[in-house]
Homo-oligomer: A and B are copies of this chain.
Amino acid sequence: MEKEIISWIYEAAEKIKTGLGSALKVDEKSDRTDLVTNVDKEVQNFLVEKINTYDPDAKILGEENGLDQTPIDEGRVFVIDPIDGTMNFVMQQENFCIMVAVYEDGIGQLGFIYDVMRDELFWGGARVGKVFYNRKEISVPKNKQLKQGLIGMNAALYRHNFHHAQDIGNKSMGIRILGCAGLEFIAMIKGTQIGYISMLSPWDYAAGKIMMDQLGMPSYGADQQSLTFRKRELFIGGTEAAVREIQAFNQENQ
């Protein structure tokens, strides 16, 4: 299955790069900074078609085209984000990812995050028992504490100090705001950031969570509960040491 998915992702990336060369049609969704383009929609349709041909019984959970209410826990579910970081895609023409995840009865099997413009594919999970950076197996990142590393954040969480994001940032070596969940997951998987706190939808975390699980890196939703895969929700993930510190701090300061 992984060979097929990787080939779809590379084909989708070519469509995105072609799309960058022509006039983008950009629409606003919930507000003026929540963007979607014709390329997001076309690439989602492309991935849906590939999945439907490969496995007509599989269900699909995704951001665009009304696929956002698919339950995660019934049968095989592909979770797709054709362009994660659409704002970066539109404004920077870089720093965005394609993300695909496969769940079986709610259990993560394979996750794929592709940084299109840097040509960096991170993929793996329980089905293959490993995580890869392109063709190279990734080793488990060091279990660093908050004070030993950089942590990724969402700007609104940080600005408003929601869930003590500022206090947690102050305990770390510093925060980074990249505007793309996929890049934050890549940084955690590579070990270049120790954690990530954000508000995420299922297609934002589905692929990254599978690879983090494989590497023994915990991730949670609100109130230290499991992520629900049902809505946009709090996401806290990272090294085990950093996540324990974040949880303890949030419990002490409720």
Contact = CB atoms under 8 A, between A and B. Distances in A.
Interface string A149-174: 11000010011000000100100011
A143 B176 CA distance: 27
A6 interface: no
Interface of A: 32-33, 87-88, 91-94, 147, 149-150, 155, 158-159, 166, 169, 173-179, 187, 192-193
Contacts of A150: 87-88, 91-92, 179
A174 B155 contact: yes
| Copies of this chain assembled into the complex | 2
Contacts of A32: 147
Contacts of A187: 92
Given A91-B149, A94-B192, A166 B159 contact: yes
A176 B174 contact: no
Contacts of A174: 33, 87, 155, 179
Given A32-B147, A176-B178, A178-B178, 15 more contacts: A33-B173, A88-B150, A91-B149, A91-B173, A92-B150, A92-B187, A92-B193, A94-B192, A150-B179, A155-B169, A158-B159, A159-B166, A175-B177, A176-B179, A177-B177
